A and B are shown apart, each in its own frame.
Chain A
Amino acid sequence: GEDVEQSLFLSVREGDSSVINCTYTDSSSTYLYWYKQEPGAGLQLLTYIFSNMDMKQDQRLTVLLNKKDKHLSLRIADTQTGDSAIYFCAESIETSYDKVIFGPGTSLSVIP
């Protein structure tokens, strides 16, 4: 079946790097996404990667995709207190409505 898994919590010190991991089951995914949700707010797209790419870098964010292992990671360099949020991994699957499956979210806490 289709499933996206993430660890639920991560705690890092300010200035360190954070790595949030995600595994997915459907090999027919087209895009993989990372969304950020701050308290009381909607999901905000952080970055996405096309399924035939291995890596994407965008300022402090690095996304790594291992298609063989169906593993996606998000690395945040120089983590700041403003990065504290819930991070959702998601994959889109080609269906009649381009289904997107979300993971449960990883709550990142940044310790000053």
Chain B
Amino acid sequence: NAGVTQTPKFRILKIGQSMTLQCTQDMNHNYMYWYRQDPGMGLKLIYYSVGAGITDKGEVPNGYNVSRSTTEDFPLRLELAAPSQTSVYFCASREVGTDTQYFGPGTRLTVL
């Protein structure tokens, strides 16, 4: 039982490049989330999903897209990277009952 895994751990992008951040969970959780964490700030919700085939925007969705074709996977896509997207990105899945979110180790992204 690996929990929530994310790849890559680090990435440097040039302005205008695109990339996909991968997230996988093996706990059979329906709810999954993508957050970004900026220094001195709390986590901001980018997108969430309540189950396979269902996604919706969070607080800061601009510049990002997601898909959820399976329960396990919830990739986050950046189409045209901008310096404002330099951040640490966390994926999480949620356990029903206690509403506890389990987090992946994060992806540190720098856009130059």
Smallest Cβ distance from A12 to chain B, in angstroms? 20
Which residue on A lies nearest to B90, using beta carbons? A42
Chain B residues, Cβ within 8 Å of A103: 42
Chain B interface: which size bin? 20 to 34
Q: How far is the CA of A30 from the CA of B101 in the complex (A)?
A: 14
Q: Give 1 or 0 for each of B79-112: 1 = CB within 8 Å of chain A CB.
A: 0000000000010101000111111111000000
Stretch at the interface among A13-21, A59-67, A75-83, A91-99: A91-99
Q: How far is the CA of A8 from the CA of B39 in the complex (A)?
A: 11
Chain A, interface SS category: strand
Stretch at the interface among B13-21, B43-51, B62-70: B43-51
Chain A residues, Cβ within 8 Å of B92: 43
Q: B residues within 8 Å of A by Cβ?
A: 4, 31, 40-43, 45, 48, 50, 56, 90, 92, 94, 98-106
Q: What are 30 A-B contacts with C-beta separation under 8 Å? A: A8-B40, A31-B98, A31-B100, A35-B103, A41-B105, A42-B90, A42-B104, A42-B105, A42-B106, A43-B90, A43-B101, A43-B103, A45-B101, A45-B102, A48-B98, A88-B42, A97-B31, A97-B48, A97-B56, A98-B94, A98-B99, A99-B45, A100-B45, A100-B101, A101-B42, A102-B42, A102-B43, A104-B40, A105-B40, A105-B42
Which residue on B lies nearest to A31, using beta carbons? B99
Does any Cβ of B come within 8 Å of A27's Cβ? no
Chain B residues, Cβ within 8 Å of A45: 100-102
Chain A residues, Cβ within 8 Å of B50: 96-97
